[in-house]
Structure 1
Amino acid sequence: MLTEERYKVVCIATRWNVRAALDLISIHAEQHVRGVQPRASLNPFIALAAFAAWERFLSDLGAAATIPEEMWDDKGLGNGKLGPGHLRLTGGLPYQPKALNGYLRNRGVLSGDVSDGWAALLANSWAGVTPKGWRYAEYAQDPDAFHAALNSAAAVRNGAAHMALPGNVTMPAKANPASSELGELELDEDAMSEPTFYWTNDAEAATVQNGHARLVTALCVQLIDSSIVHIAKASGWNSRCYRLPGAWFAAKVPAREARYAGVEFWGGRALHRVV
């Protein structure tokens, strides 16, 4: 069973993990430029860090609810003990409600479904650094919107983790025997039945665009925060003590937040923050 003290430890670790993705966005935004820049290499790993923070949050919840007291590590020191960052999610598509709701219930995190508390602004496109096509959705009324958003975000995460990225010949291909030049690659018809990575962007060169990475990050930030609130309320705890900082949801981070002062993480739009 999850205790409030352990929940606090998980939420603190989660905040640090989310901050890694926001740090990368902030670095990317330090100077406005046009065209393809070296900073474009940050984009897939922004999405990777954001989705990893989401999955790590889920895994840490399960760990916090099940690890025996004598084995619990609340300081992240290791020393043969287990705590946030130690256990991994198991099962197919563990980030999807069908799997994660059962995972959390079976481990005593909460008795209901964590997805019941999900509400978010979901973007479905992007232009440059700006996510586009925002619409508000609640899981209770539109579960398919969240399923699709999570699957799309997971595809970007997988592409980043395996370097199956635009510009890295993401389609299955074989070299033309007549030439060893990369420009002479032709599609391998036998391989076309295998899983592939497809990318869409409006950039001048093949890349995962920053707006796409921010879209994934926005999804994960809202899912983490709404889950924190839902679990806390279901347990009778004060969610204000544990949720992500409100400034991270703002259209423009207030000046009082020294680390990200003035950063517009979401293209000048504020994210939804559940109450």
Structure 2
Amino acid sequence: MNTTDIRYERFNERDFTTVKELLSYDVVAGEDLLRVLAQAPELFITAYMEDKLVGLAQVNEPVPQSYLNVYVAPQFRRQGIGSAIVEYAEGELRAGGTQKVRSSFRADHPSSLAFARKLGYGEYFSSALMQRSGELFPVEELPVRTYTDEDYLASHPLYATAFHEMRVRVGCFPDSVIAQPSEKERKEWQKDAEDRFVYEINGEIVAYSHLSGNELSSISVRTDLQGRGIGRKMVMHLCNLIYQRGNETVELSCVVGNEARKLYDSLGFEEKYIRDFVRKTL
């Protein structure tokens, strides 16, 4: 099979059924891609050999450090197709100014790590997907409210600093820096402001969080106030909100080595699987 004959196309909604069938051939690898596809189809590129769909790539926006994930149907693997799709996607990212690219896969897929190493990707960090189901938490009324655009300049430094300090403590992020605010990010936050929340004490924002569907995608507490139960109360409050929105489970990702894992364990979250991240300099 000549990989130079692969035809790349931007994902089209009319292909959803075909792509869903393709991803069903490998449930472990396909489940996560299908979830992202439902939320952000514009990130995907399809790969065809003649009229046969053979693979799919999630290629995020070409920022300095971007993300790439590739899937090839099991019956078409070990023919160089995956390597060709990665090379094409890396070229797209490089042309857009990306300097480093990340990828990830479940730790129970050892062949994925071997494939990544072969293409020059080095091990980066691991993250546990955790899930909770059960009753609502009995919580007191909290000073939590929906985020507004005026909260950005107070919320962003709190969020950026907390995550930077977590990465430093874990020790897997030697080049971590405190992310700087930007108008582009501010506009992104405003788009789904109804899924962002702030916790106030005496009129000051001391914690910030973001929900994505049934996922608690981020929660951060001002570093000088950590360890005082604010994070616990806010997690419980947000879990209740997710349940009240009609979801049966709450999910979150916790970097392996993050001390917050103890909090999530104590609140009834259970580890579903570990996801390994790798990185490459283009």
Q: Normalized against structure 1, the TM-score is what?
A: 0.23
Q: Normalized against structure 2, the TM-score is what?
A: 0.22
Structure holding more helix per residue: 1
